[in-house]
Amino acid sequence: MTYHLAYMNLRGRGEPVRWVLKALDVSFTEERIDVLTQWLSRKNEFEWGQTPVLMVDGVQLHQTTTICRYLGEKHHLASTDLWNATRQQEVVEAFHDVSFDFSLAFTARIKQDETLKNNSLEKARKRLLEIVLILESRITDQGWVLSHDMTWVDVFLAAYLESYSAYFPEILEGVSKTQALMECVMALPVIKAWLKIRPHWSSLEDPQNFL
């Protein structure tokens, strides 16, 4: 089985997929599409007109959460308890919903619409503060979300937490279990190695220039 990830030259919604692929220690190739110079001319290559896309033996698989869930279940990094897996998915979808506001802010920045950018970022910040409190309540004594062992959900959430906290460090205040989960995933040798070599933030999404 071969995997090829196509995403823009950003972290965004592609970063959780990268982390899950790394955590699984499966071989994959990646193509980074320049969002300013290549995306519009290549958009129609993708069935849903969006990325990330994971090519699985040449077949396109779309949507970040769908890709990560498939990988987790395929490679035995998923909860086998249907109820717990379903409640994990609640948290996953809530985090992914926030990425919509970040996408709006990102687009607004390209269009130099400061009002929309700031409003979208503030909406994301407030929602994240609410979501992280719920996440905190669902982390077990073993340190994982509704599981005794790490699943793809933990890796997915850690990737988003690492990115979102670069914009809003306060989302990790007072949630020790959530912070510990993120740090445990980041300490995995394969993730630790990735963090050392991954491309720096795109200038379009760099928190230092964005806020």
Give 162-203 pLDDT, tens digit per residue.
Answer: 999 999 999 999 999 999 999 999 999 999 999 999 999 998
Across the range 79-89, mean pLDDT stands at 97
Q: Dmax of the chain from CA atoms?
A: 49
Instruction: Flag whether pLDDT at 211 surpasses 70.
Output: no
User: 62 by DSSP, 3-state: which?
Assistant: strand
Q: Is the pLDDT of residue 87 over 70?
A: yes
Q: What is the 3-state secondary structure (H, E, C) of 123-161?
A: HHHHHHHHHHHHHHHCECCCCEECECCCCHHHHHHHHHH
Domain parsing of the chain, residue ranges:
3-76+195-204, 82-187
Q: Are 120 and 102 in contact (CB under 8 A)?
A: yes
The whole-number pLDDT of residue 109 equals: 87
- In what order do the strands lie in the sheet containing 3-8? 29-33, 3-8, 53-56, 59-62
Of 44-53, 84-93, 106-115, 125-134, the one with minimum mean pLDDT is 106-115
- Write down the CATH number for the domain with range 82-187: 1.20.1050.10
- Check residue 68 and give its pLDDT: 98
3-76+195-204 topology per CATH:
Glutaredoxin (3.40.30)
The pLDDT value recorded for residue 5 is 98
Which residue shows structure tokens 């069935």?
47
> pLDDT tens-digit profile of 6-62?
999 999 999 999 999 999 999 999 999 999 899 999 999 999 999 999 999 999 999
Whole-number pLDDT of residue 67: 98
Q: Is there a contact between 178 and 35 (Cβ–Cβ < 8 Å)? A: no
pLDDT of residue 210: 77
The predicted structure's pLDDT at residue 66: 97
Share of the chain above pLDDT 70, in %: 100
Q: What is the pTM of this model?
A: 0.96
Q: Which of 16-25, 111-120, 137-146, 182-191 has the lowest mean pLDDT?
A: 111-120
